Amino acid sequence: MKITVVGTGYVGLVSGTCFADVGIEVVCVDIDAQKIEKLRNGIIPIYEPGLEELVVRNHKNGRLKFTTDLGEAIQGSEVVFIAVGTPPGEDGSADLSYVLGVAKEVGEKMSDYLVVATKSTVPVGTGVKVKAEIEKALQNRNSDLAFSVASNPEFLKEGAAVEDFLKPDRIVIGTEDERAQKIMQRLYKPFQLSGERIVYMDIPSAEMTKYAANAMLATKISFMNDIANLCERVGADVNMVRRGIGSDPRIGNKFIYPGVGYGGSCFPKDVKAIIRTAKQYDYELRVLQAVEDVNDAQKHILVEKVKKHFGNDLTGKTFALLGLSFKPNTDDMREAPSLVIIDELKKLGAEVKAYDPVAMDHAREFYLGDKVEYCKDSYEAANDADALLLVTEWSEFRIPNWDVLGKLLKNKVIFDGRNIYDANYLKELGFTYYGIGLKN
Ligand code: UDX
């Protein structure tokens, strides 16, 4: 079986590589010639555990190819996945020009029946537009070639994308006809390890499933952040509450960790997008509007605590900030709470010494420039700082040498944005400790 994956970004590269790894012949296409050249040489544009090894191995064995030529790639392919970017346009809605551009080119260059499946997260209704674009291109060349459209959203978590792809919770496939469904079924056979993992549905439902999944997860987080903030006020401990409610299987113990707000490429964008879609249909998604508002406020929570402790003027103060990426195991800085926190600390007159195990180069180049001082480890960041802020819970931050940290810091004050430290233990060691939603 041969397939084409268009777009070698996060979704496209992980999907293409994993399909190749189960034996499928995959051609990955991108318009960026430099990127393609690098990939051919085993240079991966993103940080994703396990991906490089798989790319190199499958490229070497010839199952995974990289090209800029879409027309050539789709010859003999049974499925072409559209996995190009959908950047937010000026008004915040997803810009579909890349997706539709690929659809048009497929229509211009296909020479046999094809399933054209969107894998990028696209607004509900995009399947119809993709179909119309291909039809138009075929008409222009007086062709009556058959094709099917499909929606096959991805549910990969950054930092665990390869594993998520190879061992998925579920695979969602939206199709309009049996022919396409059968091909998609064959394609995903190697991943269906047990149970009813493949959920078939129509295209709009598949498109909606992706948004509903991300919106529900974002809701859990904002809900817990809201409860955490109330816990502080009433003298309750959100860690206890979290365990208390998480043991109810209807609620579940995942995604109910309070913190400094959700970030990343998916939750913020998708929550906004679905609110917008609803507005277009004259409907207001009130719960999700609140989810977004709570999250925006939560990104400020750590600085609120800093202000309570040190006062509103932070001139002359320096803060050690641990963790820049929006979550551990990625260098992704999109919508990272660290950006809001750094911005606010600077505005209040403070200096920031930051350390992140992976994201510093990326952060410096694209997000922060010289706004912060970049340190070689937590201890260098803590040296002479007025307090320490834990923003992203990388594992290497979990058990620091508190003796050393305590001596390096000017004041033994910790603001823990992810509740990873033991408040009582730190208090015993003489630290002033602030968490999220804890008793003080
Ligand atoms: C998410 C979805 O999990 C994935 O299915 C979808 O395809 C894309 O969006 P990702 O953005 O990679 O994946 O990150 P995820 O691990 O889900 O974390 C998202 C954010 O939520 C992070 O900022 C994280 O810190 C935050 N989070 C998560 C919490 O604040 N509390 C939690 O309990 C869980």
Expressed in angstroms and rounded, the spacing between residue 96 Cα and the centre of ligand 1 is 24
- Kindly give, in sequence order, each residue whose CB lies less than 8 Å from that of residue 8, ignoring residues fewer than 6 positions away: 16, 28, 29, 30, 32, 35, 36, 39, 45, 66
Please write down the HEC assignment for all residues of 137-152: HHHHCCCCCCEEEEEC
Query: Is 427 known as a binding-site position?
Result: no
How large is the ipTM?
A: 0.89
Asked if 266 is an active-site residue, the reply is yes
Q: Which of 18, 28, 231, 266 is catalytic?
A: 266
Q: Is 111 helix (H, G, I), strand (E, B) or coil?
A: coil
Query: Is 259 known as a binding-site position?
Result: yes
Q: Which of 144, 190, 197 has its CA nearest to residue 168?
A: 197
Q: Is 156 in the pocket of ligand 1 (CB under 6 A)?
A: yes
d(CA 346, CA 326): 19
Distances 141 to 73, 108, 136 between C-alpha atoms, Å? 20, 7, 9
Strand partners, 321: 354, 389
- Compute the average pLDDT of residues 87-103: 86
For the stretch 198-252, pLDDT in tens is: 999 999 999 999 999 999 999 999 999 999 999 999 999 999 999 999 999 999 9
Q: Which helix (H) or strand (E) holds 32?
A: none
Ligand 1 atom closest to the Cα of residue 418 is 30
Q: Provide the CA 229 distance to its chain's centre, in angstroms.
A: 25
For the stretch 5-38, pLDDT in tens is: 999 998 999 999 999 999 999 999 999 999 999 9
Are residues 11 and 28 in contact, defined by beta-carbon separation less than 8 angstroms? no
Q: Is 223 in the pocket of ligand 1 (CB under 6 A)?
A: no
Residue 369 confidence (pLDDT) above 70 = yes
Q: Is 255 in the pocket of ligand 1 (CB under 6 A)?
A: yes
- Compute the average pLDDT of residues 100-126: 96
Ligand 1 atom closest to the Cα of residue 221 is 31
Strands (E), 122-221: 147-151, 171-175, 198-201
d(CA 428, CA 260): 25
Query: Is 323 known as a binding-site position?
Result: no
Q: Which helix (H) or strand (E) holds 332?
A: none
For the stretch 408-429, pLDDT in tens is: 999 999 999 999 999 999 999 9
The side-by-side arrangement of strands in the sheet containing 64-67 is 64-67, 25-29, 2-6, 79-82, 114-118, 147-151, 171-175, 198-201
Mean pLDDT of the chain: 96
Q: Is 199 helix (H, G, I), strand (E, B) or coil?
A: strand
d(CA 428, CA 308): 22
- Compute the average pLDDT of residues 383-403: 97
Ligand 1 atom closest to the Cα of residue 225 is 30
Distances 175 to 129, 204, 294, 301 between C-alpha atoms, Å? 14, 9, 36, 44
Expressed in angstroms and rounded, the spacing between residue 333 Cα and the centre of ligand 1 is 13
Expressed in angstroms and rounded, the spacing between residue 356 Cα and the centre of ligand 1 is 18
Share of the chain above pLDDT 90, in %: 91
Domains along the sequence of the chain with CATH: 2-197 (3.40.50.720), 211-297 (1.10.1040.10), 299-434 (3.40.50.720)
Q: Is 257 in the pocket of ligand 1 (CB under 6 A)?
A: yes
d(CA 431, CA 245): 30
Mutate which of 210, 266, 436 for ligand 1? The one with the most ligand atoms within 8 Å of its CB, which is 266
- Compute the average pLDDT of residues 295-304: 98
- What b/e string do you get for 152-169 counting C-beta neighbours within 10 Å, with b at 16 or more? bbbbbebbebbebbbebe
Per-residue model confidence (pLDDT) at position 196: 67
Residue 92 confidence (pLDDT) above 70 = no
Residue 248: what residue type? D
Please report which confidence band the pLDDT of residue 94 belongs to, taking 50, 70 and 90 as the band edges. confident
Q: Is 165 in the pocket of ligand 1 (CB under 6 A)?
A: no
Per-residue model confidence (pLDDT) at position 194: 60
Please report which confidence band the pLDDT of residue 195 belongs to, taking 50, 70 and 90 as the band edges. low
d(CA 337, CA 334): 9
Are residues 331 and 324 in contact, defined by beta-carbon separation less than 8 angstroms? no
Q: What six digits make up the tokens of 179?
A: 């022919």
Atom 27 of ligand 1, residue of closest alpha carbon:
262
Q: Is 374 in the pocket of ligand 1 (CB under 6 A)?
A: no
Per-residue model confidence (pLDDT) at position 193: 64
- Compute the average pLDDT of residues 147-176: 94
pTM: 0.93
